Chain A
Amino acid sequence: MKKRVVALCTIAALAMGSMSVTALADDAEKITISMWHTWPEGNGGTAAAFAKTMEQVQEKFPEVEFVMDAVADSGDSYKTKLKTAAAGNELPDIFYTWGGGFSETWVDAGKVLCLDDYTSDETKDKFISGSDAFFTYDEKLYGYPLRTNVGVLYCNKAMFDEAGIEIPTTFDELLDAVKAFNEQGTVPFALGGKNPADIAWWTDQLTQRTAGADYVNQILNGEATYDTEADLQAAELFKELVDAGAFDAGAASTSRDEAYTLFASGLYPMYFCGSWYCANVMDSEVKDDVIVVNFPAVDGAAGAATEFLGGADQTFMINSEVENPEKVVEVYAYMCETLSENVFLGGAGLPAWKTDVDVSQIENTLLVSVYDLYKDCSGINLWWDNALLAEQATEHLDTASKLFLGNITPEEYVSMNTEIMQ
C-alpha cells in the first residue's frame, strides 16, 4: 500500500513539474489582468459596448489574458461586493467604480493606484474638459472617465398630444401639466421610489434649479451650508408636486426596473432619469413617441435649465498593489477611451473622451438629442449620493424618502440636511 502511494505521489509530482515548465515557456510574455465590472453579456446597451471594447482591447494586446467577473448592478449588489472585497483585501487588478464621495475613502486608504505617474499630458488632453473632475482627489488623478450621463426629462409626446398638454419648460408649466394629466386620470410621472436615490434625484435636481449648480457644488464639497431660502424652496416645490399627484401612490414600493418598464410601456407621460435610459426607450414600443427635454427651470431662481445632474461619474480604478502598473495602465487607457466611444456609438451614454464620431451614424437618436442638450451645459453637479460620503449619502436619501411620504415638512427636510451636510 505504502509503496503504491509513494509511486503515485512521484508520478503526480513529475506530471506537475513538467506541466509548470511548459506553462512557463508559453507564458513568458503573457500577463494576466483580473477585472470586475457590472455588464454581464446581453445585459443592455452598455454590456454590448463593453463586449465590443474588450474584443478591440484583446486584438491590440493579445498577450494580455483577462480574468473577468461581472455582477449586474441592480441596486447595490456590486457596491456591496466591492466593499466586502476591499475589507478583505481581495480586490482585483482593475475594477469598475464611481468617483466623488464613493471613492474618497478608497483613495485615502491607499487602495487605488494614483495615475499621475503613468498618465501623459497627451492622454489628459483627450478627456472632454472637466470629465476627470470626479476622479481627482487632492489634484491627483485616480481614474479615467468612461462616459457621461446626465439627468433629463423623458416626455411621451404622443401622450402629451393626445391629452392636449404642452411639454413644460418652467416649473409652473410642469405643475399645470401635472394637474391637467391628473384631471384626465393619468398619473404624470413614473418613479422607482423603492430606491430612495430615485426620489432624491428630484429633490436634488430641484435644489440645483433653485440654488444653482455652483452653490450646490459648494454644499457637496462642504464649503457652504445647506440652509438657504433656495434650499427650502426646492423642498417646498417637491412637496407641491407630490401633493398635486405627480407620482403614483405606489411609487414608494416601485423598483427602478419597474419604473423603467412602466414608462417604456407608455403608461406614464413623464419620467426623470439619467441619459443611460435612452437605450431602454429605444428598445421599447414608445421609442417614436418619446422626446427628451431639460428639467424645467424655476422662474426667478439662480439655477438655469441648462444645468445638469450627473457627469462622468463612473470609472475603472486600478488596485494599488497591482503588479506591472505601466503595462496595466497602458491597457487600461486604451480600454477606457475605446469604451467611451463604443458607449456613445451604441447609444448607452454620452462620451467622456473627445471623439470624432459621426453623430449621424448613431442609431439612438434620443441620445443624440441628449448630446445636443448637453452641448449647452452651463453647470453640473454629480448625483448627490455619489458626491457625498457613504453615511451622509444614505442619510440624505433617507430625508428625501421622508419628504416624499409626507413624514417630514420641507422645513424639517432642510434642517435635517443642514446637519447631514456639515
Chain B
Amino acid sequence: MNKMLSNKKAITLFILPELIIFLFVVVSSIVMSFHYSLYSWDGISEKIFVGLGNYKSLFIGNTDGFLKAVINPLILAAMSLVIQLVLALVLAIILARGIKGEAFFRTAFFIPVLFSSVVMGQLWSMIYNPNYGLLNAILSKLGILQTKIAWLGNMDTALICVFIAMIWKYVGYYMLLLYSSIKRIPADVFEAAEIDGATRLQVATKVIIPLSLPTIKTTVVMIVIGALKAFDTIYVLTNGGPDHATEVTSTLMYTTIFKKNLYGYGSSMAIFIVVECLIFTILLNKWKPTQYTY
C-alpha cells in the first residue's frame, strides 16, 4: 500500500478520471454560469454585458421574492438538522446496538432513499391530496378534522408539508452513515462501559456519540448543503407554489431561467447557491470535534 502511494504514476492514474470529470462537469459549469451571470441574455439572442448588474438586482430593491427563496432553504436546513440528525442518530444507535430484525429495519428505513424523487413526490402528493389523501382520511377518522385541508394548496401548510416529505426521505441515508460508524466501534469499548456500570443511555451519550463525532460532522455538512440546494421534491410537489410559498433558491432559479428566459439573471442565482454552499461548508469545517481514539 505504502509503495503504491509513493508511486506518482499510480496516483495520477487513479485520480485522473475523477479529476477530468470534475473539471469538465462541475468546475466548467460553475465557470460558465459565472460568465453568463455577467450578461443580460434571453438564451436565444445576443448577450449584452451588464457586469455585476444581475447581482445588484438580487440584493438591492429585489422584486421577485429572492429573499424569501433564500430564507426557506435555511428554514429547511434548521428543521432537517433538528429532525433528521436526531432521528437518524437515535435509529442508528438502537439498530447498531443490536435488536431483533436489525437487518430488516436497516433496509426498511433506507428504502425511501432509493426512490426517485419524482416517485416520492407522487407518493406524498397522494398522501396530502385533499379529496382522497391518506392524511385527511386518517385525521377525519380520528375526529380531529371536520373540514378537508388542502395541505399543499394552502399558503400556511404547504411549506411545512413539503419539508416533511423531504426530511422523511433522507433520514434513512444519514441513519446508515451513522450506523456504520457506530458499528466500527470495537466491542471491548462497550464491554468496558458495561463493566463500569454504564446504563444504555450513558453508553449512547458518553461512548457512542463522542466516538462518532467525525461522522456526525460529515452528516451535518451534508444535511445543510442538501437543504440549501434542494430542488427535485419541491419541483414535483408544488413547483414553488402556491404563490411562492414553497419557493427555494433553486426553484426560483429554474423559473427565472426557463420560464422568464432570463439566463443571465438566473445564472447569478446559481452562483449565489454555489457561494452560499461553499461558505456554509467552510464555516462547518471550522468545527473540529475532538478526535477520540479507541
A-side residues, CB < 8 A to B, are 76, 79-80, 83, 86-87, 105-106, 108-109, 111, 193-194, 196, 248-254, 262, 267, 389-391, 393-395, 398, 401-402, 405, 407
User: In the assembled complex, which residues on chain A have CB atoms less than 8 Å from the CB atom of B43?
Assistant: 83, 86-87
B128 touches A394 (CB 8 A): no
Say how far A412's CB is from chain B's closest CB, in angstroms: 13
For B, the interface residue count at a CB cutoff of 8 angstroms equals: 32
User: In the assembled complex, which residues on chain B have CB atoms less than 8 Å from the CB atom of A250?
Assistant: 129-131, 148, 150, 152-153
Counting chain B CB atoms within 10 Å of each CB, the highest count among A86, A105, A249, A251 belongs to: A249
In the complex with contacts A80-B258, A252-B153, A254-B153, A390-B129 CB distance below 8 A:
no
In the complex with contacts A87-B44, A405-B155, A79-B241 CB distance below 8 A:
no
Is residue B238 contacting chain A, with contact meaning CB distance below 8 A? Answer: yes
Q: Give the distance in Å from the alpha carbon of A393 to the alpha carbon of B260 in the complex.
A: 8
Partner among A76, A105, A106, A111 whose Cβ is within 8 Å of the Cβ of B258: A76
In the complex with contacts A249-B148, A250-B150, A105-B241 CB distance below 8 A:
no
B44 touches A109 (CB 8 A): yes
Given contacts A252-B243, A254-B153, 10 further A-B contacts (CB under 8 A): A83-B43, A83-B44, A109-B46, A249-B130, A250-B148, A252-B152, A252-B153, A252-B241, A390-B259, A391-B260
B-side residues, CB < 8 A to A, are 42-46, 125, 128-131, 148-155, 158, 238-239, 241-244, 255, 258-263
Partner among B130, B149, B255 whose Cβ is within 8 Å of the Cβ of A394: B255
Say how far B146's CB is from chain A's closest CB, in angstroms: 13
Partner among A106, A253, A267 whose Cβ is within 8 Å of the Cβ of B238: A253
User: In the assembled complex, which residues on chain A have CB atoms less than 8 Å from the CB atom of B42?
Assistant: 105, 390
Q: Give the distance in Å from the alpha carbon of A179 to the alpha carbon of B242 in the complex.
A: 25
Say how far B54's CB is from chain A's closest CB, in angstroms: 14
Q: Give chain B's interface secondary structure class.
A: loop
Partner among A105, A196, A248, A401 whose Cβ is within 8 Å of the Cβ of B261: A105
User: In the assembled complex, which residues on chain A have CB atoms less than 8 Å from the CB atom of B131?
Assistant: 248, 250, 262, 267
Say how far B156's CB is from chain A's closest CB, in angstroms: 11
Say how far B43's CB is from chain A's closest CB, in angstroms: 4
User: In the assembled complex, which residues on chain B have CB atoms less than 8 Å from the CB atom of A86?
Assistant: 43-44
In the complex with contacts A250-B130, A250-B131, A108-B243 CB distance below 8 A:
no
Say how far B121's CB is from chain A's closest CB, in angstroms: 11
Closest A residue to B130 by CB, please name it.
Answer: A250
In the complex with contacts A250-B129, A252-B153, A401-B242, A111-B158 CB distance below 8 A:
no
Counting chain A CB atoms within 10 Å of each CB, the highest count among B43, B149, B151, B158 belongs to: B43
A194 touches B238 (CB 8 A): yes
In the complex with contacts A109-B44, A252-B242, A394-B153 CB distance below 8 A:
no
User: In the assembled complex, which residues on chain A have CB atoms less than 8 Å from the CB atom of B158?
Assistant: 253
Say how far B260's CB is from chain A's closest CB, in angstroms: 4
Counting chain B CB atoms within 10 Å of each CB, the highest count among A109, A250, A267, A398 belongs to: A250
User: In the assembled complex, which residues on chain B have CB atoms less than 8 Å from the CB atom of A111?
Assistant: 44
User: In the assembled complex, which residues on chain B have CB atoms less than 8 Å from the CB atom of A108?
Assistant: 44-45
Say how far B187's CB is from chain A's closest CB, in angstroms: 51
Closest B residue to A111 by CB, please name it.
Answer: B44
Closest B residue to A397 by CB, please name it.
Answer: B259
Closest B residue to A107 by CB, please name it.
Answer: B44
User: In the assembled complex, which residues on chain B have CB atoms less than 8 Å from the CB atom of A398?
Assistant: 243-244
8 closest pairs, A vs B, by CB?
A: A250-B150, A250-B130, A253-B153, A253-B152, A252-B153, A252-B242, A390-B261, A391-B260
Q: Give the distance in Å from the alpha carbon of A196 to the alpha carbon of B241 in the complex.
A: 9
Q: Give the distance in Å from the alpha carbon of A252 to the alpha carbon of B125 in the complex.
A: 13
Closest A residue to B263 by CB, please name it.
Answer: A87
Q: Give the distance in Å from the alpha carbon of A69 to the alpha carbon of B99 in the complex.
A: 53
Closest A residue to B41 by CB, please name it.
Answer: A87
Q: Give the distance in Å from the alpha carbon of A76 to the alpha carbon of B239 in the complex.
A: 11
B262 touches A193 (CB 8 A): no
User: In the assembled complex, which residues on chain B have CB atoms less than 8 Å from the CB atom of A109?
Assistant: 44-46
Closest B residue to A392 by CB, please name it.
Answer: B260
B45 touches A401 (CB 8 A): no
Q: Give the distance in Å from the alpha carbon of A358 to the alpha carbon of B25 in the complex.
A: 57
Q: List 6 A-B contacts (CB under 8 A).
A: A86-B43, A193-B242, A250-B150, A251-B150, A252-B242, A391-B260
